[in-house]
């Protein structure tokens, strides 16, 4: 981008620019942003909760609706004012850099007793000696060039030693002014676009505009803010980085990079929740502007998560991660994982993606676990972690993903880093962390244990509905075999899939007819084998884990047809109370109270 030809900025104007006034204006917008945020926070945490607890009826419902709209309006004000603030601070930051370059050039001119003219040209005095008469060479004026600094001065062209220095100063002055003009023009366009529609309502399309506004400010502020985010640091180093920022710096990172801060392991949960709630609205706005099936699927999931967040559910929800990359990302905690002594994190498996089904059913599993654990220890939180692309069983070659380790390996690394962040930000000296893997998610948890350092801070591992975890012995998971717990329903077909070496029929069955087909073929080809697709059966005696009792679940084939519901009931206190209670006990640090049954 280049400034318009009519730009009239002079070096004197650049020299005299008061960047502190720009920063003062930014502070004013920051105060407006903070007031809007405080108002939204009061609506969500005080007024809405009070209404829900004390009032019933149509009038109360109408009041809740209007308060929610006001809260959303304030959230938009918070976002846009925060963007204006950072745009102004970034403008001041970039202008200061050009002022420094200009002042250095002017100081050099003054030291050499050169004269810098209003148009940027530089007059220099006589100097040196002529080759013929020995007299000083005449002075002159170095003019402004079309491309300052592109062609270095040559002594052959200008023998006066001052000429080259003068041309260098003229080029530096010109470059600083032209760069400052480009900066001014660029930020003027950004600031003009940071405006709301008229009226008192913030419709969805406004969030689409806000998503574009945020992207523009992020791009403009990349030299001002983004380079400081420690993306490659350890969770502990990120925590220390955040703690070392000023309040103003934190507010700006939250306003401009909610996606980065909200998904950064090692950042405190309350901060991640704040950032992700804002990024959630920006993502909804972004996907609103797209017209394809993938966007519609993710929108349904995002809106359902947003609805639950606004309901004020108990235990309280914390949004620890959100994104639209791949099949979508969402990490939700029920209870604050920084203050709870017991924290469990559940990794879902096959067919999980950011859609409405995930937002309803997988979130419910984490919530049920949190509610169950809190019966045994009130200092408990439970997380559902969709931080990877779980395999999807669809027609075509994508179906083969569930047969391979690649997604589990990638997800295992991400899960290990996430748990490292939870361990780093948890405030309890006697913290107790539990990793829970369901279905293919158990393979992902298994992969996480094989990372360097394993899964940081994790004390117990729970595997349910597992097709194998990639190792053949419980002790290979890094927590001691007495801390590995397995639930395997008798009628769960996934826990009886054939091993890779048993028969090609098992693989063909999975792709052609799903897990039910592979189960039937596997049972026929090699009944009683304790090897599954991803290694030894975690429920087998040879694996060496502690198996807790679970309900049998519906049979695969019955008078009602074919069902694999036995694979999805482990967390449900209504459909499998024994299993759900065992998971809750382990998550609450009361594994000694769990009943243990014989292995397969």
Q: Span 56-68, mean pLDDT?
A: 84
Q: What does the mean pLDDT of the chain come to?
A: 87
Give the model confidence (pLDDT) of 540-576 as tens digits.
999 999 999 999 888 886 666 666 888 999 999 999 9
In the chain, what are the helix, strand and coil shares in percent, each to the nearest 5?
A: 55, 10, 35
Q: How far apart are CA 301 and CA 294, in angstroms?
A: 11
Per the DSSP assignment, residues forming a β-bridge with 436 are 346, 462
Check: CB of residue 466 under 8 Å from CB of residue 538: yes
Q: Sorting pLDDT into bands at 50, 70 and 90, what band is 510? A: very low
pLDDT score, position 58: 86
Per the DSSP assignment, residues forming a β-bridge with 347 are 437
488's tokens: 């395997």
pLDDT score, position 401: 52
Q: Is 160 helix (H, G, I), strand (E, B) or coil?
A: coil
Per the DSSP assignment, residues forming a β-bridge with 318 are 333
**Distance, first Cα to last Cα, the chain:** 68
Higher pLDDT, 535 or 1: 535
135's tokens: 């007299």
The answer on pLDDT for 500 being more than 60 is no
Q: How far apart are CA 136 and CA 503, in angstroms?
A: 97
Q: How far apart are CA 191 and CA 193, in angstroms?
A: 5
- Count of C-beta atoms within a 10 Å radius of residue 568: 20
pLDDT score, position 512: 42
Within 229-319, residue ranges assigned H as helices are 235-244, 247-256, 258-262, 269-288, 293-311
Check: CB of residue 536 under 8 Å from CB of residue 472: yes
The answer on pLDDT for 524 being more than 90 is no
CA–chain centroid gap for 496, Å, is: 36
| Nearest of 350, 151, 516 to residue 506 by alpha carbon | 516
Torsion of CA 383, 388, 393, 397, to 10 degrees: -170
Q: Is 344 helix (H, G, I), strand (E, B) or coil?
A: strand
Q: Sorting pLDDT into bands at 50, 70 and 90, what band is 398? A: very low
Q: Which of 251-255, 394-398, 587-591 has the lowest mean pLDDT?
A: 394-398
Higher pLDDT, 420 or 524: 420
Q: How far apart are CA 491 and CA 579, in angstroms?
A: 14
φ/ψ of 88, rounded to 5, equals -65, -40
Q: Sorting pLDDT into bands at 50, 70 and 90, what band is 403? A: low
Sign of the alpha-carbon torsion through 407, 410, 414, 420: positive
Check: CB of residue 494 under 8 Å from CB of residue 567: yes
pLDDT score, position 399: 47
Give the model confidence (pLDDT) of 158-209 as tens digits.
478 899 999 999 999 999 999 999 999 999 998 988 877 676 677 667 777 7
Give the model confidence (pLDDT) of 427-452 as tens digits.
999 999 999 999 999 999 999 999 99
3-class secondary structure for 346-371?
Answer: EECCCCCCCCHHHHHHHHHHHHHHHH
Q: Span 302-328, mean pLDDT?
A: 93
Share of the chain above pLDDT 90, in %: 62
The answer on pLDDT for 497 being more than 80 is no
pLDDT score, position 193: 85
Q: Span 353-374, mean pLDDT?
A: 97
Q: Burial level of 53, CB count in 10 A (0-12/13-18/19+)?
A: exposed
Sign of the alpha-carbon torsion through 456, 443, 500, 524: positive
Check: CB of residue 106 under 8 Å from CB of residue 116: yes
pLDDT score, position 397: 40
CA distances from 587 to 40, 483, 583, 600 (A): 33, 11, 6, 24
Q: Span 116-123, mean pLDDT?
A: 94
Q: Which of 60-74, 92-106, 114-128, 414-428 has the lowest mean pLDDT?
A: 60-74
DSSP type of residue 48:
H
Q: How far apart are CA 335 and CA 351, in angstroms?
A: 26
Q: How far apart are CA 98 and CA 120, in angstroms?
A: 15
Within 426-537, residue ranges assigned H as helices are 440-449, 504-525
| Nearest of 588, 251, 555 to residue 431 by alpha carbon | 588
The answer on pLDDT for 312 being more than 50 is yes
Give the model confidence (pLDDT) of 205-245 as tens digits.
777 778 888 888 888 887 787 778 999 999 999 999 999 99
Cα angle 122-126-131, degrees, rounded to a multiple of 5: 130
The answer on pLDDT for 519 being more than 50 is no
pLDDT score, position 486: 97
Q: Sorting pLDDT into bands at 50, 70 and 90, what band is 522? A: very low
Torsion of CA 509, 515, 475, 458, to 10 degrees: 140
Half-sphere exposure of 595 (CA within 13 A, CB side): 7
Q: How far apart are CA 583 and CA 568, in angstroms?
A: 14
Q: Sorting pLDDT into bands at 50, 70 and 90, what band is 94? A: very high
Q: How far apart are CA 30 and CA 247, in angstroms?
A: 11
Give the model confidence (pLDDT) of 8-30 as tens digits.
899 999 999 999 999 999 999 99
């Amino acid at each position: 981008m280049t400034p318009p030809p009519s730009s009239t900025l002079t070096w004197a104007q650049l020299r005299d620019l008061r960047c502190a006034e720009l920063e003062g204006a930014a502070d004013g917008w920051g105060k407006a942003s903070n007031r809007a945020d405080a108002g939204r926070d009061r609506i969500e945490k005080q007024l809405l909760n009070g209404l829900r607890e004390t009032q019933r009826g149509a009038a109360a419902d109408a009041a809740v609706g209007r308060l929610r709209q006001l809260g959303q309006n304030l959230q938009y004000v918070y976002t846009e004012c925060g963007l204006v603030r950072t745009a102004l601070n970034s403008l001041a930051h970039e202008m200061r850099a050009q002022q420094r370059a200009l002042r250095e050039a002017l100081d050099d001119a003054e030291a050499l007793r050169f004269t810098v003219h209003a148009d940027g040209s530089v007059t220099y005095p006589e100097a040196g000696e002529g080759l013929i008469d020995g007299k000083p060479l005449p002075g002159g004026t170095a003019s402004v060039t079309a491309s300052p600094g592109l062609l270095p001065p040559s002594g052959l062209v200008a023998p006066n030693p001052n000429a080259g220095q003068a041309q260098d100063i003229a080029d530096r002055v010109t470059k600083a002014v032209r760069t400052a003009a480009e900066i001014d023009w660029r930020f003027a366009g950004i600031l003009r676009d940071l405006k709301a529609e008229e009226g008192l309502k913030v419709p969805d399309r406004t969030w689409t505009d806000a998503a574009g506004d945020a992207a523009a400010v992020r791009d403009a502020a990349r030299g001002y803010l983004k380079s400081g985010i420690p993306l490659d640091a350890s969770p502990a180093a990120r925590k220390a980085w955040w703690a070392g920022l000023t309040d103003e710096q934190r507010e700006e990172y939250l306003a401009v990079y909610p996606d980065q801060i909200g998904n950064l392991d090692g950042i405190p949960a309350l901060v991640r929740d704040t950032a992700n709630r804002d990024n959630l609205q920006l993502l909804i706005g972004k996907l609103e502007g797209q017209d394809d099936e993938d966007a519609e699927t993710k929108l349904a999931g995002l809106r359902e998560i947003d609805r639950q967040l606004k309901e004020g559910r108990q235990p309280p929800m914390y949004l620890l991660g959100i994104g639209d990359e791949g099949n979508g990302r969402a990490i939700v905690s029920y209870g604050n994982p920084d203050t709870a002594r017991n924290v469990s994190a559940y990794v879902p498996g096959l067919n999980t993606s950011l859609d409405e089904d995930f937002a309803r059913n997988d979130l419910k599993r984490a919530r049920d676990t949190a509610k169950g654990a809190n019966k045994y220890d009130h200092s408990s939180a439970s997380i559902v972690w969709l931080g990877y692309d779980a395999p999807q069983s669809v027609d075509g070659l994508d179906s083969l993903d569930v047969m391979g380790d690649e997604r589990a390996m990638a997800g295992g690394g991400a899960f290990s880093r996430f748990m490292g962040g939870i361990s780093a930000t948890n405030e309890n000296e006697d913290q107790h962390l539990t990793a829970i893997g369901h279905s293919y998610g158990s393979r992902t948890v298994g992969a996480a244990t094989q990372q360097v350092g394993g899964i940081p801070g994790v004390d117990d591992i729970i595997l349910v509905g597992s097709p194998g975890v990639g190792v053949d012995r419980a002790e290979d998971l890094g927590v001691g075999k007495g801390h590995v717990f397995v639930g395997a329903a008798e009628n769960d077909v996934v826990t009886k899939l054939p091993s890779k070496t048993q028969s090609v029929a098992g693989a063909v069955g999975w792709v052609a007819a799903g897990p039910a087909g592979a189960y039937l073929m596997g049972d026929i080809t090699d009944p009683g084998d304790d090897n599954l697709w991803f290694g030894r059966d975690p429920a087998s005696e040879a694996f060496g884990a502690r198996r807790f009792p679970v309900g049998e679940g519906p049979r695969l084939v019955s008078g009602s047809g074919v069902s694999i519901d036995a694979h999805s009931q482990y967390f449900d206190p209504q459909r499998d109370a024994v299993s759900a209670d065992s998971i809750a006990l382990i998550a609450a640090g009361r594994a000694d109270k769990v009943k243990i049954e014989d292995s397969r």
